[in-house]
Amino acid sequence: MAPSSVVVTMENTKNISLVEVNDLDSPAFRDKNKAANPKRFTKVLLLKAQRTLGCIPKTFASVKKRIALSDEEPKYRGKLYRFIRAFLAISVVALCIEIFAYFNKWELNLVNPWEVQSILQWTFMAWISFRADYIAPSLSKLTTFCIVLFLIQSVDRLVLCLGCFWMKFRKIKPIINEDASDLEDGSYCPMVLVQIPMCNEKEVFAQSIGAVCQLDWPKDRFLVQVLDDSDDEVLQQMIKNECLSWKEKGVNIIYRHRFIRTGYKAGNLKSAMTCDYVQDYEFVAIFDADFQPNPDFLKLTVPHFKGKPDVALVQARWTFVNQDENLLTRLQNINLCFHFEVEQQVNGHYLNFFGFNGTAGVWRIKALEESGGWLERTTVEDMDIAVRAHLYGWKFIYVNDVRALCELPESYEAYKKQQHRWHSGPMQLFRLCLPTILTSKISVWKKANMIFLFFLLRKLVLPFYSFTLFCIILPLTMFIPEAQLPAWVICYVPIVMSILNILPAPKSFPFLMPYLLFENTMSVTKFNAMVSGLFQLGSAYEWVVTKKTGRSSESDLLAFAEEESKKMNEEKISRRLSESGLELYGKLKEHEQEIPKKKKANKIYRKELALAFLLLTAAARSLLSAQGIHFYYLLFQGLTFLIVGLDLIGEQVS
């Protein structure tokens, strides 16, 4: 039988038992397909349409149920939310009027006002004239201003990428002046203080202490300070017990607890640096409670100080144990890879300055003291000390090849609170540092870089134009068509910039479009944080410890290992603790037995939901003017806001 043959078997064998068609393009076969395919195609379409329509009520029901069972944010009722809600209400009314005018075929801009009969028509015509003469010019000026900021920021990002490419091409890396063999023979092993600030870090304290205590450095040349700000007495005892365990193994480790927790992390570090024994140490390495440095961390970072008395900081890169855990962590990984691979590497090489990341870095203690030490005036104490050290003439080194393992926030709630602090703090610091920067003795170029690039362009301009351009101006232009937003601003340039952002994480290319949409969605949080920090609003001083899950490797801990660890910990507590400690241990057991496990709570975010409906309303309006790119962008961006507003991205927290 020929390869192109078709065999048809019929049940009625008296008429036809077997039909063999060798020519698929024969007229008989083609005519039969014409008769059969449209009917089948129509049935398939109707079936799919029926299924789709059947899913809509279920979707709305699930959304309604989710909102009803949700835990509302207690602080959502701010000015920004009220503005978005008012904008949404006006947009819905305008959409209804536009749809009514569209179906009545009102082309009132071509009609003489004296020929208009209806009051409604006259009102609509007056609105068209008013928006064209008064609203559109102002909106066009604001649009042009935001586009200029957008282009300047895009040029800055492009220059950073070119600088990174040049460093890769020329294989430029920080070098150690002296022979590295000094470390092997022990001739260069300065005294190093290792600090682990923590606060209620129940999930991660053991693994972080364990990783730091296993650093490959002479035991008599480094000291570990566990700086505990926990307010849970049972947890305090557990952390203290972990420190005692490592002390028995020969590690120089000290447990410190503050009774008065002021200044958050900055106050904790400041308190630790006042100890008398600190003067015996030359360098201090800082690790947050979820960081797990490799044993050779100090051997790869401390030698960069040798022969360079003007170097204050050696910063290492972060890597993440849970970057592939969910969509939220994948998108965070894209951002942070660009931050480390491009921003910090380029700024470290060409400017000898970048913002300290707060952890996984080694400081020269002399530089900390000369720069004024840790201050409690902002929520970004790491950026604060970095700026002050740079103004005093100290230099920074970034080593991209040295990496410390840590954890990304897996829930949107934790990520949102983290981003709020990261974007409100720099604006607080900018207000405080601007006079000092202007009067400092550094060069004009360094002053310009710090003011316009480090603070304004990357900390203020980026959230401002992202929110204003894509969440406010674009929906407005749908209802005020006299002020148009070019397609290259909406589509082409953002896609190019997203591709540049994603280059340091090439495995994330399939998530290009989700990344672009999610970054625009986060603009509302970043814009709100930027404004609160700039104008010293109450939320600017919020400090919430980022929720951790306690992942200690690329794969999760095995259940067996976890059970063994718990048993060992219980044995240690039973063996070592005093009567008061035993009472605390009993309280812990009672606490675990009496309190039932909380179910995961639903969260809704009203700003994001309001913006979702606003963008979807504008998308419906764009259909009337047949604007393809604008419609698809507004549709998908609105759906992204809806997903985030209903907390359907990342893991939920209980």
> Beta strand pairing status for 361-364 and 283-286?
antiparallel
Exposure string of 609-625, with b = 16+ CB inside 10 Å and e = fewer, is bbbbbbbbbbbbbbbee
- Tokens 């550094």, located at residue: 442
H or E, element range at 77: none
Do 329 and 410 contact (CB within 8 A), yes or no? yes
Which residues have a Cβ under 8 Å from the Cβ of 592 and sit 6 or more positions away? none
Do 496 and 153 contact (CB within 8 A), yes or no? no
Q: Has 216 been annotated as catalytic?
A: no
Tell me the three-class secondary structure of 228-266, residue by residue. ECCCCHHHHHHHHHHHHHHHHCCCCEEEEECCCCCCHHH
Exposed, middle or buried by CB within 10 Å (0-12, 13-18, 19+), for 142? middle
Q: What is the dihedral of CA 178, 182, 184, 190, to 10 degrees?
A: -110
Q: Has 382 been annotated as catalytic?
A: yes
In whole angstroms, give the CA distance from residue 327 to residue 511. Answer: 9
Question: Catalytic one among 228, 229, 290, 384?
Answer: 229
From the list 469, 459, 490, the residue with the least C-alpha distance to 142 is 469
Question: Catalytic one among 228, 288, 382, 384?
Answer: 382
First to last CA, the chain: 66
In whole angstroms, give the CA distance from residue 450 to residue 443. Answer: 11
> Beta strand pairing status for 292-293 and 395-406?
antiparallel
In whole angstroms, give the CA distance from residue 338 to residue 342. Answer: 5
- Per-position DSSP letters for 297-360, written without gaps between them: HHHHHGGGGTT-TTEEEEEEEEEETTTTSSHHHHHHHHHHHHIIIIIIHHHHHHTS-----SSS
Structure tokens at 492: 């082409």
> Radius of gyration of the chain from Cα atoms?
31
Do 399 and 317 contact (CB within 8 A), yes or no? yes
- Cα 602 from chain centroid (whole Å): 20
In whole angstroms, give the CA distance from residue 200 to residue 386. Answer: 26
- Per-position DSSP letters for 397-415, written without gaps between them: EEEEEEEEEE----BHHHH
Residues annotated as catalytic (active site), given as ranges: 229, 382
